[in-house]
Amino acid sequence: MAATAGAFEHVPSASPGLLQLLRGAEVFAPAPLGTCDVLLAAGKIAAIARQLPALPPELAGEEHDLRGRRLVPGLIDAHVHLIGGGGEAGPSTRVPPVGLSQLSRAGITTVVGVLGTDGTTRTVADLVARTLGLRDEGLSAYCYTGSYELPVPTLTGSVRRDLVYIDPIIGVGELALSDHRSSQPTLDELLRVAADAHVGGMMANKAGIVHLHMGDGLRGLDLVRRALDTSELPPRVFHPTHVNRNRRLFAEAGELVARGCSVDVTAFPPEDDPGDSLYAADAIDRWIAQGLPVSRLTCSSDGAGCMPVFDAHGHICAMDVGRPTTLSDTLTELLARGHDLAVVLPIFTSNVAGLLRLSHKGRLTPGADADLVVLDDHGHIAGVIARGRWLIRGGQTVVCGPFERSAT
């Protein structure tokens, strides 16, 4: 079949391409470094300085003038349904998989894939395959083993073996608590999964966390508190998400971080009726205003996840789909409200990297991966570099996945 006219470039591998010298950007690493030049080489950040010398003509390379722009680490989204979520109202409600450009347009250079309610027709094997595919397309991609349910669906038959032997798998998720769609786990069941995740993570030098889907149930975070009370597991193992889905749960999350846990707010689509929930920007506003530790907060998009609304009988009465772009939209909204970029940026970058033990991600420093986002004057995405390759340039998508097509 002939190539489609106007189709984007497809990247068959993650080759870093030319040397890149980025000139004169206001750099946030995420701490502010002032106006700097940044040199990228072999998919890494090679140097950051007030002024770097020009590239020698004998070296293949490019210089880019970024004066007047802000340069930040690539965003890390720790919760995306890479092969699609949904299915709670039958096969026709299965959400399609996520394409590369859907992530890059959101400034996401590192992504973690999850399964949701459906661990039956969607499998960990499918998720791992899509994760590896995104790596081939130029993104940094990881995933969790498991889904909402217990026993935990795995690839090898064991949580520990999945962590030790399957490279992209870095933890368990999203295991559901306080939700009518969960397996209604007991304390002992949660502790067994968390112990396997923790020890498997130690053996594989990975995060080994349990990423917990939190529902609207009245039990809230009670099971997590009891797990901390009755076990020796470190608090960092438990990472509850969707904690902004109602105000009661958000208040519980604020108390939980005092015990050493990190919690995650979800960037719900802005057109959704918030009801008792908090939009991500509102939740982060409130978190900062209450003096809660920003270092314990992360934000994710729930991209390609189905966001159903249930009635009192458990029937779906409305449905929306999460979009990766809500992650960058939340950052833009926070900047529009006057928040300091250096304060809120870690919620989307270094906090996530630290929790997931991705030491080469989330910061702009020599030796780190060359994952960078260029922000315009209004905080919108103007450029995205993933592992040294431009995916978005001048606000336009220049690289996409093999099955994506140009809109023209």
Between CA 328 and CA 341 the distance in angstroms is: 13
Between CA 97 and CA 80 the distance in angstroms is: 10
Between CA 240 and CA 109 the distance in angstroms is: 22
Between CA 175 and CA 179 the distance in angstroms is: 10
With tokens 């079949």, the residue in question is: 1
Annotation says 65 is catalytic: no
* Nearest CA among 238, 325, 241, 245 for reference residue 282: 245
DSSP 55: P
- Preceding amide of 174 cis, omega within 30: yes
Between CA 280 and CA 290 the distance in angstroms is: 15
| Cα–Cα distance list, 58 to 19, 46, 55, 261 (Å) | 12, 18, 8, 51
Residue 28 and residue 342 in contact, taking contact as beta carbons nearer than 8 Å: yes
Q: 302, 329, 369, 371: which is the annotated catalytic residue? A: 302
Pairing of strands 19-28, 32-41: antiparallel
Q: At what angle do helices 247-256 and 280-289 cross, to 10 degrees?
A: 50
Between CA 18 and CA 377 the distance in angstroms is: 27
Between CA 180 and CA 268 the distance in angstroms is: 20
- The one-letter code for the residue type at 149 is E
Pairing of strands 389-393, 396-397: antiparallel
- Angle CA 114–403–86, to nearest 5: 30
SS3 label, residue 3: coil
Strand residue runs (E) in 253-395: 263-266, 297-300, 306-310, 316-321, 372-375, 381-386, 389-393
Contacts of 309 (CB under 8 A, 6+ apart): 316, 317, 318, 319
With tokens 């978005």, the residue in question is: 392
Active-site amino acid positions:
302
